[in-house]
Amino acid sequence: MSRDIEMECSEDVRSSEGDGREDPSHPSDGGGAVWLGIDVGGTSIKGAIVDLEVGRLRRQVLTERTPPTATPGDVAAATRRIAAAMQWTGPVGVALPGMISGSSLRHAPNLCASWGQADALTWLRAPNGGNAVLINDADAVGLAELAYGDASLNGSGLTIVLTFGTGIGSALLYNGDLIADSELGGLTGVRGRFEEVASGRAISTESLTPVEWARRAQPFFDELQAILNPSRWVVGGGLSDDFEKFASKLELATPVSVARGGVHAGIVGAAVAACGASMGAGNPLSP
């Protein structure tokens, strides 16, 4: 295993019985109930084998720091190293922090500009000699929520999932379906783009307290409430770990909960997308 890859202790998204030991029964060539999901972020790239029967991480999360260049080639190499370290040779689900548009990735300010060029995604589509199914990172959290979150999401109108990390991602869930590529974090308030002033990165670089963060985020939620009228909010990304501390400072008219998969919901959703595509359902998100 590359020394750039760090192992986190068994990070189960739902406090599973998983003990982090390798399960020799898993099919490393895809299929069955376990799949590899990788979540590419502006600061780190994380992958884990996911047990899709229960929506839990089966083994340890492997983490690499996102290369400073963040080029398609460098990121693809990191995903290949993670797949190799997992001894995974089958299809991989990869969640990306931008909008997948044909063979390029748009609106990805936390990666380098060359992701916007034609064919940028071909670097990733064969991360381990197999197929990769690509999905927006916030849409991956939305898919995980649809698969393992509150069952009432299936018939409860619009749920807005917001992920607060290096940027702000969004997913719209409507009566059990994912409406992909919403990119709501790009909306602008009086202080500037919400994803710049109220993201997880803004919290850490500016050492924002929960109250200070809520002052910046409240207009974002208000705006979305006014134009989209959601019946429910789900908050994910890095903020999941501190959800109570931060979300309790918001004044919301509709219920808010933390993403069921917590900080690893993107990995789970990427694996769900890979499984769906490989099972013949087709990738619901491919252009």
CB closer to ligand BGC out of 94 and 108: 108
Q: 3-state DSSP call for residue 7? A: strand
CB closer to ligand BGC out of 30 and 165: 165
Contacts with ligand BGC: how many residues (CB under 6 A)? Answer: 18
> Cβ of residue 181: shortest distance to ligand BGC, in angstroms?
8
236 near ligand BGC, judged by CB under 6 A: no
124 near ligand BGC, judged by CB under 6 A: no
Q: How far apart are CA 139 and CA 97, in angstroms?
A: 10
Q: How far apart are CA 76 and CA 69, in angstroms?
A: 12
163 near ligand BGC, judged by CB under 6 A: yes
Inter-residue contact 32 to 26 (CB < 8 Å)? yes
Q: Which stretch binds ligand BGC (CB under 6 A): 1-9, 28-36, 147-155, 158-166?
A: 158-166
> Cβ of residue 67: shortest distance to ligand BGC, in angstroms?
17
Name the phi and psi angles at 233, rounded to 5.
Answer: -115, 145
167 near ligand BGC, judged by CB under 6 A: yes
Name the phi and psi angles at 73, rounded to 5.
Answer: -65, -45
109 near ligand BGC, judged by CB under 6 A: yes
CB closer to ligand BGC out of 60 and 79: 79
159-189: buried (b, 16+ CB within 10 Å) or exposed (e) per residue?
Answer: bbbbbbbbbbbbbbbeeeebebbbbbbbbeb
Q: Is 24 exposed, middle or buried (0-12, 13-18, 19+ CB in 10 A)?
A: exposed
Site mask for ligand BGC (CB under 6 A), range 31-70, x = bound: ----------------------------------------
Q: Which of 70, 99, 153, 258 binds ligand BGC (CB under 6 A)?
A: 99
Q: Which of 37, 98, 238, 276 binds ligand BGC (CB under 6 A)?
A: 98
142 near ligand BGC, judged by CB under 6 A: no
Structure tokens at 232: 């429910």
Strands 232-236 and 158-164: parallel
136 near ligand BGC, judged by CB under 6 A: yes
Residue labelled with tokens 């990306």? 96
138 near ligand BGC, judged by CB under 6 A: yes
CB closer to ligand BGC out of 39 and 51: 39
CB closer to ligand BGC out of 169 and 276: 169
Structure tokens at 161: 């999932």
Close Cβ partners of 74 (under 8 Å, ≥ 6 residues apart): 67
196 near ligand BGC, judged by CB under 6 A: no
Sign of CA dihedral 22, 52, 168, 92: positive
Q: How far apart are CA 13 and CA 251, in angstroms?
A: 27
Strands 132-136 and 34-40: unpaired
195 near ligand BGC, judged by CB under 6 A: yes
> Cβ of residue 135: shortest distance to ligand BGC, in angstroms?
10
Residues that bind ligand BGC (CB under 6 A): 97-99, 107-110, 136-138, 163, 165-167, 169, 183, 185, 195
